[in-house]
Amino acid sequence: MTKIVNPQQFADLSKAGVEAMMAQATAAFGRAERLAALNLNAGRSALEDSVNNTKALLAVKDVQGLVALQQSMAQPMVDKAVAYARSVYEIATEGQSEVTKAFEAQIAEINTAFNKALDEAAKSAPAGSEAAFAAAKTAIAAANSAYDSMSKAAKQASELAEANMTAATKATVKAINSKK
């Protein structure tokens, strides 16, 4: 009896999948820790700013002093909000990029293993079945091509979103600065 598939290939593939999943989980916890630290630092900073701003407001003696204080408070608040949003966006983008790379690596490994299995099966297949194997390989190639197209479109959308965020940030800062 001819052996059609190598069980060790599938076991190795499963082991690699588990290892990749564990690496992604570890990276996700790292990003969650960074996000939690960012939030704690932002909260601490907001509390300190609130106390300092309250003290400064209580020390104001006249309307001109109040107007000047409000103007001096606006820019640091905007700068901190922009920095916070950018940091959150960077953490999220990094996570998305890592997941995409891991997924692409897994797909490549699965395709390689599947093609090897098809080649092994073709060697022991009855005569006349070459067309079926060719059709299977063509279907795999078409699926890979579709995945590549979707991946490129997703990357372009991500780049566009990043460009839009950068433009919106610049516009917001410019608007705040022009109101001064």
Q: What is the pLDDT of residues 93-107, one digit of tens each?
A: 899 888 888 888 888
Retrieve residue 129's tokens: 């079945």
- CB of 72 within 8 A of CB of 57? no
Confidence band (pLDDT; 50, 70, 90) for 179?
low
- Please give the model's pTM, rounded to 2 decimal places: 0.66
Q: Interhelix angle for 63-123 vs 7-59, to 10°?
A: 180
Confidence band (pLDDT; 50, 70, 90) for 171?
confident
Kindly state the percentage of the chain with pLDDT values over 90: 26
Instruction: State yes or no: pLDDT of 4 exceeds 50.
Output: no
From the CB of residue 92, how many other CB atoms can be counted at a distance below 10 Å? 12
Specify the pLDDT at position 53.
92
Q: What is the pLDDT of residues 38-89, one digit of tens each?
A: 999 999 999 999 999 999 999 999 999 998 898 888 888 888 998 999 899 8
Distance, CA of 59 to chain centre: 46
From the CB of residue 127, how many other CB atoms can be counted at a distance below 10 Å? 5
Q: How many residues does the chain have?
A: 180
